[in-house]
Structure 1
Amino acid sequence: MTPRNAQTRKTTRGAWPVARVLRDRDAGLYLAGVVVSGFGTSALWLASGVWVKDLTGSDGLAALCMLAMWAPTLVGPVLGTLADRVRRRPLLIATNLLLAVLLLSLFAVDSPDALWLLFAVLFVYGAAGVVHDAAESALVAAVVDPRLLGDFNGLRMSAGEGMKLVAPLAGAGVYAAYGGASVAALDAATFVLATGLYAALRVREAPPGRPAANWRRRTAEGARYLWGRPRLRPLVVAGGVMMLCAGVCGPTVYAVVESLGHSPTYAGVLYACQGAGSVAVGLLAGPALRRLGERRFAAAGIALLAVAVAVRAVPYDTVALASGAAAGAGMPAVLIAALTAVQHETPGPLLGRVTATANSLIFLPNVLGLAAGAALVETVGLPLLLPTLGGVLLATAVALVAAPRTPSGTCAGRP
């Protein structure tokens, strides 16, 4: 893969982070593709659960939509090997077109008997998403100037969180007016548009070499590399602990709303504050990473989240709104830092597998945390549960800063 040329690098110096990324043609196109496809995904995420609820009246079956989309993360390291076996841009294009065609099959879902098709599509959607994220991370590392990776990943987070504020409302409106299949068609259209943006990228990729090992060994190579890098391992472990605590905290939101004396719909206000915080930290992530480094930036975010979670037990609206914004600002820090470190530290031929393994180790604890939180919120009061979670998060931040440091090296195969 070709590195960015010297002229491009010169034009990115001294500019505000957004301008630094958008001045780079390929980085701007890539970010636009992320925004477009993220809009469709966020719209479908909400509509699929509402669709199942309307057809069956079952909250449990509606919750299975999220499970179907998350389940492929369990085999993320295996799926990530595909991103290292073929050229990444054609893989992204093929994945988007496959999902666009697959989503149109949901026009056949018009009764509870056809729900198996919806769950099957969502499962494939989740599996394709794992492959897509791994290939995307690897291609970004080749397309984007290495000095812009922190800025790009931060802006990507801001764009994703911004879509979560806008797209569910748009999806709900389309669903109310035209039904669930129309939301699927909207998502399919966003995949087609994103395909055009990816196709416009100016990147030359050499075909990957013939693998010297079977898929089991190739999968293990990614996991061994990740776990054997002292610069990456603490970030991934800290990210997993953070997502575990965030998962436990998630089911408490309605208990918090009840303690404030509001109806359950007030949770939407708290989520909006959280999204606003995530958008803000994404815009600042690039400069913060350059000033603090990945580990201190991640630790600062986890510490901010620790305070936000602990004070949420205080039953005042202003405290709840401020803690929501602080939590939204704190959570993405370790995710941005870990992804940027993986992209900087990992050789190109391994990057798909390492990214997929890191994502699995970070995000799977969130699923376990959600299950644990659903049980704990019924048995442990908020004044005990939330400060305890805050304490665990604060200890994680301290441990991350205190972990032995190693100098950053240049990886073979990286531009």
Structure 2
Amino acid sequence: MRAVLRRPDFRWLFAGLFFSMTAESMLVLALAIWVKDLTGSDGLAGATILAVVAPIMFAPLLGYVVDRFRRRPFLVATLAGSAVMLTLLLAVHDRGDLWILYTVAVCYGLSYILVSASLNGLIKEVIPEHLLAEANGALQTVRQGLRLAGPLVGAGLYASTGGWGLAALGMAGFLIAALVISMLKVREAKPVPSELHWLTEVGAGLRHLTGDPAMRRTLTGNVIAILVFGFSESVFFAFVDEGLHRPPAFLGVLISAQGVGGLLGGLTAAWLVRRVGEIASVAIGIALFVPCFVASLTPHLWLAFPSVIVAGFGLPYIIVAWMTLMQRKTPGELMGRTSAAMDAMLSGPQTLAIGFGALLVEAVDFRLLLIVMSVVMTVSAAYLWAGRRLTPPSGELAQPVQDEPVGDGGPVRQREGVV
């Protein structure tokens, strides 16, 4: 990680994203709490999360839009637009303004997709291939670290200021991020308009994602896992209530413990990817959740805390390896559409799994669901591990040509060979 942080170009990007990720980490939970406070309805509060997720159905089209612009200015404009969007929160006073909160939630969902797609393309432009895992690991370390405090800070800020403080701090985070990233020096060629029909262009990201053997296997393995992993949103409420006999708020303590593992996982993810390759890293990340599910079959605090910490390592391993593989395998002009297609292919099954899990946990014992989750996640990890040779460790790949940063961060780069 030190190697990538020594690069002035990445430090500008890293600093800007720290502010935007801080704003993001506070926003979603606080919006749901705000809706609950105005309406008293758990269902309407839960619908806030649905409003954030709903724009994923437009992800391929949004990726097409991203690929028609240079990455840095598009990312800066999206971050600035996110700040402007939050000004709507200043107009919320009572239940009659509920539509404003849902509008902001939908706009945030759109912003998240656009930022993710443009960021993946920008990282590919700024960072040489042999440092992609380190760059993704550094960003995941910050994101996982913010999971420890961000939601609590956002909830506390809403409780103490009534919402205007949440809006103000969120706007400040996005604006500072836009300002810092605007100072990044990167040479980007202007995208060349395609002569293909726009519908063909929209689907290009999905065709690329499923056409490459390594990405196809990684996507398939992740979808298998997500089909049951989404159950955990409901299963662990039952685990805390019926198993540990604790109040629902105790789940926040377990999530914080998982965040500790996530922070450590972010710090070690790049090392793991270099050591075993991307597909094997995703397999290991998924497998690390299985001990948590198995330990939860016999609910005890002395088992719960270490097992959720171990599971915490898994998420950054999965994300860093997946992002690195996608960035490495995807041409720059296709990054937006491929990134958006990946979001759609993973978020769709996850949303269905969350809803299905909420129904199942009311009908069957949560332990039975944990058994099903353990078996399916093990199958997913085994399937991915069997395909690990599609992405060999970086030690088996060609050595990259050394990059020399020039001036205030504009890199002069000799492109290394395709890995």
- Fold shared by both chains (TM-score > 0.5): yes
Q: Which residue is equivalent to 1:4?
A: none
Q: Which residue is equivalent to 1:380?
A: 364
Q: Which residue is equivalent to 1:30?
A: 13
Cα deviation for residue 171 of structure 1 reads: 1.3
Are 2:303 and 1:285 aligned? no
Q: Give the 3-state SS of the residue equivalent to 1:118 in structure 2.
A: helix
Q: Which residue is equivalent to 1:185?
A: 168
Paired amino acid for 1:195? A
- Cα contact 2:257–2:308 (8 A) shared by 1: yes
Instruction: Identify if the C-alpha distance between structure 1 residues 31 and 404 changes in structure 2 by more than 3 Å, giving closer, same or farther.
Output: closer
Q: Which residue is equivalent to 1:54?
A: 37
Instruction: Identify if the C-alpha distance between structure 1 residues 406 and 171 changes in structure 2 by more than 3 Å, giving closer, same or farther.
Output: closer
- Cα contact 1:100–1:191 (8 A) shared by 2: yes
Where do 1:236-275 residues align within 5 Å? Answer: 236-258=219-241, 259-275=243-259
Instruction: Identify if the C-alpha distance between structure 1 residues 146 and 404 changes in structure 2 by more than 3 Å, giving closer, same or farther.
Output: closer
Where do 1:312-331 residues align within 5 Å? Answer: 312-331=296-315
Matched residues, percent identical? 37
Cα deviation for residue 405 of structure 1 reads: 4.4
- Cα contact 2:279–2:391 (8 A) shared by 1: no
Cα deviation for residue 28 of structure 1 reads: 1.9
Deviations 1:166-193 (A, max 9, x none): 1112212211211123202211110001
Q: Which residue is equivalent to 2:64?
A: 81
Q: Which residue is equivalent to 2:407?
A: none
Count matched residues: 398
Q: Which residue is equivalent to 2:406?
A: none
Paired amino acid for 1:29? W
Instruction: Identify if the C-alpha distance between structure 1 residues 283 and 175 changes in structure 2 by more than 3 Å, giving closer, same or farther.
Output: same
Q: Which residue is equivalent to 1:102?
A: 85
Name structure 2 gaps, 5 residues minimum.
Answer: 399-414
CA–CA separation in structure 2 for the residues paired with 1:220 and 1:405: 28
Q: Which residue is equivalent to 2:288?
A: 304
Match for residue 121 of structure 2 among 117, 125, 138: 138
Cα deviation for residue 414 of structure 1 reads: 7.7
- Cα contact 1:101–1:188 (8 A) shared by 2: yes
Instruction: Identify if the C-alpha distance between structure 1 residues 255 and 339 changes in structure 2 by more than 3 Å, giving closer, same or farther.
Output: same
Cα deviation for residue 226 of structure 1 reads: 1.0
If the length of structure 1 is used for normalisation, what is the TM-score? 0.92
Deviations 1:92-119 (A, max 9, x none): 1111111111211211111111111221
- Cα contact 2:125–2:188 (8 A) shared by 1: no
- Cα contact 2:234–2:361 (8 A) shared by 1: yes
Cα deviation for residue 136 of structure 1 reads: 0.3
Are 2:191 and 1:235 aligned? no
Deviations 1:291-317 (A, max 9, x none): 100111111111111222222121110
Paired amino acid for 1:67? L
Paired amino acid for 2:362? E
Deviations 1:317-352 (A, max 9, x none): 011112211221123322221111010001111111
Match for residue 124 of structure 1 among 107, 128, 131: 107
Deviations 1:372-414 (A, max 9, x none): 1111111221322102211100011111122384478999998
CA–CA separation in structure 2 for the residues paired with 1:407 and 1:378: 41
Are 2:169 and 1:169 aligned? no
